[in-house]
Amino acid sequence: MVDFPVSLDNLIAFVEALHANGDPLLHLSDAVTVSNRVQSQADALIGYFVDQARRSGASWTQIGESMGVTKQAAQKRFVGRSTEWLEDAFHASSRPLERFAPRTRNVLAASRRLPSSGEIEPRHLVAALLGEPDSVATTVIHEAGVTDAALAEAMGVPLDAIAQAFVPASSDRAGTATFGTGAKRLIAHALDVALHYGHNYIGTEHLLLSAASEGPTVEPLAALGLDADHLSDAVEAKIDAIVRAKKTTRPAE
């Protein structure tokens, strides 16, 4: 049998090394923190393979059977958790949307100022990504050879309306449109995508990958060459490049 990658001895040694001269109570506190981190990683691990199973065409019934739980339990854990989190984030005004990266927050806010029937759809969220030209999502879109005009047309949103939604005067004006069911699902799935990559934030790239993975934006994006597989590879390469660049520019200690 293959050796388990994380042993209890290794975890104990790790906790004790955090505060080498600490007393048992300090070690206990550290152990709780590490345990929570391990649990979070464990959830992300299962979530990763649930995502892989879904991409392969497996049903929630099959996924539940593989996990030893019911279909409903599997869906509640991996779909319900993100949906509940999203509802809480949007309706608890005392809690900021701290998990969203700044550019993602800008995209969400601008999408509410785009022309709509009063309800934000997934296509509005995708179109609003263009308003953040330096974001990972828009950079990947451009590097794939897709122009702003082409994407805006595919989403059925006027290009000038996107620009207008991001000008300072518009930014001070809160949009009146609400997020529809499809848009909420896209954002909720973006959380799952972020967890899939082990990220503790929701970036524009997670929104784009979510839009390319499920919902009404899948086909128009794929028609532009922005299918989920291509985007996943491109996003991973872009993030790796950003991480490497940060390491090389870090001042010597």
Q: What is the mean pLDDT of residues 21-50?
A: 84
Q: Tell me the C-alpha distance between 108 and 250, whole Å.
A: 32
Q: Which residues pair with 43 in a beta bridge?
A: none
What topology does CATH give the domain 102-249? Answer: Double Clp-N motif (1.10.1780)
Q: What is the mean pLDDT of residues 195-213?
A: 89
158-186 pLDDT tens trace: 999 999 999 865 544 555 678 888 998 89
Q: What is the pLDDT of residue 84?
A: 54
Query: Domain residue spans in the chain?
Result: 1-58, 102-249
Residue 77 has pLDDT above 60, yes or no: yes
> Across all residues in the chain, what is the average pLDDT?
84
CA 86 to chain CA centroid, Å, is 12
Q: Which residues of 204-213 are buried (b: 16+ CB within 10 A; e: fewer)?
A: bbbbbbbbbb
